[in-house]
Amino acid sequence: MSSLHLGADSQKPAEVKGQVRLYGMKFCPFTHRIRLILSYKNIPHDTVNINIRNKPKWYLEIHPEGKVPALVDADGKVIVDSLVIANHLDEKYPEPSLYDEKTKTRDLELLDHYSKLVSIFSNCIHNNDSRPLKEIVAEFSSLLVEFEEELKTRGTVYFGGAQPGMLDILMWPWVERRKSLSLIYGEPTNFNDGNFSHLMKWMQQMKAQPFVQENECSHEKFAQLVKDLKTGNVDFDKL
């Protein structure tokens, strides 16, 4: 399947019967979540990238709101929202399982808390936060303390234990894009890594995972995308 982002004048690519299809955008962190899970679980699939600034009409028949990601399962069922898709894939394709029943309730609680960081990050890249970067980083740091302490309490490299689990994977796209903020704002973030020794070790271990490397998103390209989106002059396929 072509990696080009399909726009309004495109034709819907023929689906492969009995195979999962992911509709997304190459640089979208929510789409990134699902690409990571599909790769980690080795689920056969294809990916169709959507030009989110010039959406095909046929895509609105799949997802009327036009958002990404959307997943069409092997049986033709359409699932939207990255967390819903992630949980669906883990239930239908259980190997390897991404939840430990002993920590699942806490993992879901932490994912809910992490959504606050995601919201702050989103406000930064969409010009909805007028605060100085220093204040934004301070809030990020405050919110990350809970995750640092959780890793320390669990005594494991990953939140999932010996191997990455759902919480590890769903957090990762924003961690990988964290350095883009300094490029977007044109100044260093001055994030104090020394206060987060467990998270720093976790990051290094996650970066070494083959499925993470296979789906890496350059923070430089992501920062450029954000800048281009602000000017309205963006070509998703030339980044």
pLDDT tens readout for residues 104-156: 999 999 999 999 999 999 999 998 999 999 999 999 999 999 999 999 999 99
Task: With beta carbons less than 8 A apart as the criterion, state whether 5 and 236 touch.
Answer: yes
**Quick one: tokens of 80?**
């939207």
Q: How confident is the model at residue 232, as a pLDDT?
A: 87
Token pair 């979540």: residue: 33
Q: How confident is the model at residue 51, as a pLDDT?
A: 98
- Residue 2 pLDDT > 70: no
CA distance 79 to 91: 13
Q: How confident is the model at residue 71, as a pLDDT?
A: 99
Q: Which CATH superfamily is domain 18-95 in?
A: Glutaredoxin (3.40.30.10)
Between 232 and 172, the more confident residue is 172
Average pLDDT for 45-55: 97
Q: Alpha carbon of 132 to those of 68, 126, 181: distances in Å? A: 30, 15, 12
- Residue 45 pLDDT > 70: yes
The closest alpha carbon to 152, from 205, 188, 197, belongs to: 197
String of DSSP letters for 119-151:
HHHHHHHTT---S-HHHHHHHHHHHHHHHHHHH
- Residue 1 pLDDT > 70: no
CA distance 34 to 84: 10
Chain mean position to CA 213: 14
The single-letter DSSP state of residue 161 is B
The model's confidence at residue 3, banded by pLDDT at 50, 70 and 90, is confident
Q: Which helix (H) or strand (E) holds 21?
A: strand 20-24
Residues classed as catalytic:
28
The reported pTM is: 0.97
Per residue in 62-115, pLDDT tens? 999 999 999 999 999 999 999 999 999 999 999 999 999 999 999 999 999 999
Average pLDDT for 49-60: 97
Cis peptide before 94 (omega within 30 of 0): no
By the 10 Å C-beta count (0-12 exposed, 13-18 middle, 19+ buried), 100 is classed as: middle
Average pLDDT for 185-196: 94
Domain coordinates in residue numbering, the chain: 18-95, 101-225
The CATH number of the structural domain formed by 101-225 is: 1.20.1050.10
